Structure 1
Amino acid sequence: MGYSTLKCTEFVEVLASKAPVPGGGGASALVGAIGTALCNMVGSLTVGKKKYAAVEAEISGLMEKATELQNALLELIEKDAEVFEPLSRAYGLPKETEEERAEKARVMEGCLRDACSVPMDIMRRCCEVIDLIGVFAEKGSVLAVSDAGVAAACCKGALKGASLNVYINTKSMKNREYAEELNKECDGMLAKYGPMADEIFDSVLAKLR
């Protein structure tokens, strides 16, 4: 599909259209990838500078991890589109007879699980990035501290956005036990990492005001 390789203008144009994908899930993954790229920007402005020689090895290691997460989030833009299309088709399956209704319910349940898997992964990756951002904000170049703050804001937005794409699908699941397991994990990530991102943002803001 190649959504992650589109020009910015092209991605925004297709996002604004009636096309079923990309949607909120793909947008969340992209925002998360942008936040992660900002971590690497902070790192790039830190590594090689005499002033930050003492933290260079640590920052370089964090940049390697951030690059992995950045690439994973870009991949999740594509995966989100891949799992949504079968779900979109499943909603249109016939339900005139008992057999058709049973088959539609079976197919829907599988598609809903798949559709949840990607935003759950987006959330998990964003949590990992938020863990890194605090270090970049604290130890990275002071010239790029505002970029670390933007990274925190992006990743919090991506985290919250992806959660909505989980909740909209778990709400339709017949297997309520499985749905509540996913909801509980989502709730936990939001409760822990939302405030963590806010704390990083606020610490950056305090340095600038």
Structure 2
Amino acid sequence: MKLVDMQLKEFVNVLGSDAPAPGGGSASALAAAQGISLTKMVAELTIGKKKYADFETEMKNLQQKAADLQAELLVAIDEDTAAFNQVSAVFEMPKSSEEEKKERRRALQKALQGAAVTPFNLMEKIVTALELTQGAIGKSNSNAASDLGVAALNLKAALQGAWLNVLINLSSIEDDAFVLKYRKNGEKLVKQGNKIADDIYQKIIEII
């Protein structure tokens, strides 16, 4: 059964169990999905309101982009656990001969790279979600301004959580060029995303 199809209580119970997955990566994807869902909600609460008629087209576009991201982020909840399971599966491979040990090592490195790329891709989606959320400030229903702030907080937590999952996998990867690429690009995403999230939060504080 997919994580995304679980009831909320069921998901929380398995997350809090001794099962190694789902873990922080899937939790980060869920936080991101919550964040963009709040942004989508604010757009929904703005569309059709006379007071915000000047931003009607923009809010409709934002709503559609948020809906697309929402769907992608929900998929990411299971993608992270699947990537972790690929790493775990390697440890079941035989290691009796030198050739088996070499094959096991190659498989582990490949799986670790996949487990690093998955949360990195999540980070890219989160930054896009933050940019969308930022674009709603001052153009959306002011009665739901606090929800944009909560969206930013969820997305910021998701971004930093995904980054931790990138880093823990990079620490075991032997390909220096791969590690350098994803560490450098990941650091840029964290810096960019955190700035946007903090700007959103501060502006919402000022508004409310």
TM normalised by structure 1 equals: 0.95
In structure 2, the residue matched to 1:166 is 166
Alignment of 1:40-119 (within 5 A): 40-95=40-95, 97-119=97-119
One-letter amino acid of the structure 2 residue matched with residue 120 of structure 1: F
Q: Tell me if the contact between 1:35 and 1:154 (Cα under 8 Å) persists in the aligned partners.
A: yes
Task: Give 1:92 deviation, angstroms.
Answer: 4.6
Relative to structure 2, which stretch is displaced further, 186-195 or 92-101?
A: 92-101
In structure 2, the residue matched to 1:137 is 137
Does residue 123 of the first structure (1) align with residue 135 of the second (2)? no
Does residue 185 of the first structure (1) align with residue 191 of the second (2)? no
In structure 2, the residue matched to 1:152 is 152
**Separation in 1 of the partners of 2:47 and 2:186?**
35
**Separation in 2 of the partners of 1:163 and 1:91?**
24
Q: Tell me if the contact between 1:28 and 1:157 (Cα under 8 Å) persists in the aligned partners.
A: yes
**Separation in 2 of the partners of 1:96 and 1:78?**
33
**Separation in 2 of the partners of 1:127 and 1:79?**
18
**Separation in 2 of the partners of 1:68 and 1:20?**
29
Q: Tell me if the contact between 1:137 and 1:149 (Cα under 8 Å) persists in the aligned partners.
A: no
SS at match of 2:138: helix
**Separation in 2 of the partners of 1:112 and 1:100?**
18
**Separation in 2 of the partners of 1:86 and 1:79?**
11
**Percent of pairs with identical residues:** 38
Runs of 4+ in 1 over 2 A off after TM superposition: 91-101
- State the Cα deviation string for residues 119-151 of structure 1 (Å, max 9, x = none): 011101100000011121221100000000000
Task: Give 1:183 deviation, angstroms.
Answer: 0.8
In structure 1, the residue matched to 2:175 is 175
- State the Cα deviation string for residues 86-137 of structure 1 (Å, max 9, x = none): 2012235454543333122101111011111210111011000000111212
Unmatched segments (≥5 aa) in structure 2: none
